[in-house]
């Protein structure tokens, strides 16, 4: 018994679930910045559990910000170390040492975020205007 209500998954529930996941992740991010790793992991854990229960996939940016090994929120400069090079983004979890690698998107989509990347934009000083390719996806935050 006890499995009778399994499969109740209306669109509304999914929406609420993904909303909660986002909230939990933003909390986790805050704790990651503050250094409260215990609370951070609890938020991430809960978010992942909600995702599993309601079959909601984590958005890619959140999924990439998650250490699947220790449930850390991978915040560059706080809980993770990010290197960009060779067409890859390498994220190292500073808490457990797990390394994840992602391929860089082919140019054109422009949706990728490179937090604190080591690559610097050196092409903007060219006098002749290049057409098109001026995707400036660099964030100068922090
Ligand atoms: Zn980890």
pLDDT tens digit string along 93-115?
Answer: 999 999 999 887 766 554 545 44
Distance 103 CA to ligand 1 centre (A): 20
Distance 138 CA to ligand 1 centre (A): 26
The residue with tokens 């699947």 is 68
Distance 129 CA to ligand 1 centre (A): 44
Reported in sequence order, the residue ranges of the chain that DSSP labels E, i.e. its strands, are 80-85, 88-93, 99-103
Distance 69 CA to ligand 1 centre (A): 5
The residue-averaged pLDDT of 75-84 equals: 95
Distance 16 CA to ligand 1 centre (A): 27
Q: Give ∠ CA 99-101-102 in degrees, rounded to 5.
A: 155
pLDDT tens digit string along 26-43?
Answer: 999 999 999 999 999 999
Q: Give ∠ CA 61-65-68 in degrees, rounded to 5.
A: 120
Of the listed ranges 54-63, 70-79, 82-91, 102-111, the least confidently predicted one is 102-111
């Amino acid at each position: 018994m006890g499995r009778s209500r399994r499969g109740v998954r209306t669109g509304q529930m999914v929406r609420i679930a993904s909303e909660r996941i986002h909230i939990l992740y933003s909390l986790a991010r805050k704790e990651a910045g503050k250094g409260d790793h215990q609370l951070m992991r609890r938020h991430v854990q809960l978010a992942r559990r909600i995702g599993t229960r309601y079959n909601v996939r984590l958005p890619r940016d959140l999924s990439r910000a998650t250490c699947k090994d220790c449930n850390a929120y991978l915040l560059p400069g706080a809980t993770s170390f990010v290197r960009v090079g060779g067409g890859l983004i390498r994220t190292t979890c500073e808490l457990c040492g797990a390394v994840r690698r992602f391929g860089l998107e082919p140019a054109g989509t422009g949706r990728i975020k490179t937090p604190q990347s080591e690559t610097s934009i050196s092409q903007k000083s060219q006098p002749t205007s290049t057409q098109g390719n001026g995707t400036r996806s660099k964030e100068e935050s922090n």
